[in-house]
Each structure stands twice: as structure tokens, then as C-alpha cells.
Amino acid sequence: MADRLDTAAELIRSSDAETESTSSVRTELANAMAGLKKKHYGKGPEAAKAYLEDDYAFVVLEGGLLRHEETMLERGMDDAVRMHRLTFQAAVESTAIGAVEELLGRKVVGYHSQITFRPTRAFEIFVLGPQIET
């Protein structure tokens, strides 16, 4: 895995979301992924929500396309926008995985990113390793 670009705390601060000292781990996870998009893509999502279930963490991010991507979509170039987004997501994969591991205290054993349009939704999907009993 490549070097991480940021810690979870740095990504959360980048999201510009108002957070309370008692924020849930789901809120922190959603804000970290929103911060990653904002800091490294240049624009963050309009909304983000995280879901935790057993050995899975899902983050759904709404909106957040750059203007040139919107133009390309208007011209029917969905595949080109998707390919660019997924290629760039591979460049920040270690940062996304590191933030999840840091926030959840569990190893990420699988990761997948996907984006859909009309409506625009980005999905960050993490498969978590076994929970270590302490």
C-alpha cells in the first residue's frame, strides 16, 4: 500500500463539517471520506453518510462533481468520468483505507469504490478483518 496522504483527523478537518466532541464513529467516518474528496479532488460532496454492519463499512457521498465532469456527463461521456474518478480513487486508496482502520480500529481486508450518475452517488465500500478481542 502506498504512503497515506493524511490521517483521519486531517481528513475530518478538511470536510469543514461541524463536528461535536461526542461525534459517533459513523459521523467521523462520513466526514473523513468527505474530507478526502474535498481535499484531494478539489470539491467535496453535498452530503455523506456512513453505515456499519458486521464486517462492512459503507460510505455514501452525494454530489460533488467538478464542473468539467458535469460538462462531460452532459455530452454522454459517463464512462470517461467514471474511469477518471476510479483511477484517482486508486491514487488515494491508502489514505481512505488508513482512515477507516484508524477510526474503526480494525484492518481493512477489501476495498472498492464506485460512482453512479443521475443522481450522483459515490460509494466507498470497506470489508473489515476480524475484530480483535481485548
Nearest to 91 by CA among 45, 42, 57, 40: 40
Q: Does some domain include residue 33?
A: no
Beta-carbon neighbour count of residue 53 at 10 Å? Answer: 8
Q: Does some domain include residue 81?
A: yes
**CA 17 to each of CA 13, 79, 92, 111: distance values in angstroms, whole numbers, following the listed order:** 7, 31, 21, 24
Its domain, for residue 74, covers 8-14+57-112
The tens digit of pLDDT for each residue in 25-50 reads: 999 999 999 999 999 999 999 999 99
Cβ–Cβ under 8 Å, residues 28 and 8: yes
Q: Does some domain include residue 95?
A: yes
Find the helix or strand (DSSP H, E) in which 63 lies: none
Cβ–Cβ under 8 Å, residues 69 and 77: no
Q: Does some domain include residue 76?
A: yes
The tens digit of pLDDT for each residue in 47-63 reads: 999 999 999 999 999 99
pTM: 0.86
